[in-house]
Structure 1
Amino acid sequence: MSEIAKARAHLHAALQEVTRDLAEYPGPIAGCDAQYTHLLATRTRIRNALTALDGEVFVATPRSLHPGAGVESR
């Protein structure tokens, strides 16, 4: 198993755990419950990490300094 696959598996497990914790959390008072807000932020960070792992990687080269740039002709 590649290191990326291991990271993806760990992130999926963490996402399941946080989702379970959120589902079992007693009804929060909106805007007043720091622990609930922390769980929401953690879930967002995990989802963002999974998105980053699955996204296409852009590597800048001297001829293409930003995504979507055409090849420079000389």
Structure 2
Amino acid sequence: MTSEDCLIVAKAELRMARQLILDEIRDYPTPISGCDAQYNHLIGLRGSVSDALSALEAPRFVATPRTPDPTAGVESR
């Protein structure tokens, strides 16, 4: 298994986790009080999973001598 395969699996697992959390939130019994620790925990998990998925899907800038920062543009020679 390659690192790319692992990333594909990780993204799929995070998407599945996000959907399961969304299902739990949707099916949570109402009324929901603002101090409901279990519901608030689900909301926090939803954010954490979404952040992790976004981090894996976002392009990552890697500085090089020719492009020391993201705004440096591409040097052609």
Distance (Å, rounded) in 2 between the aligned partners of 1:71 and 1:51: 25
Q: Does 1:48 align with 2:32?
A: no
Q: Which runs of 4+ in 1 moved over 6 A?
A: none
Q: Which runs of 5+ in 1 are unaligned?
A: none
Question: How much does 1:48 deviate?
Answer: 1.1
Structure 2 length-normalised TM: 0.78
The residue aligned with 2:14 is 11
The residue aligned with 2:25 is 22
Aligned residue pairs, count: 71
1:18-69 Cα shifts (integer Å, max 9, x gaps):
011101111211x211111110111111111111111111112244333212
Distance (Å, rounded) in 2 between the aligned partners of 1:15 and 1:70: 36
- Quote the RMSD (CA, aligned, Å): 1.8
Distance (Å, rounded) in 2 between the aligned partners of 1:71 and 1:17: 42
Structure 1 length-normalised TM: 0.80
Q: Which runs of 5+ in 2 are unaligned?
A: none
3-state SS, counterpart of residue 65 of structure 1: coil
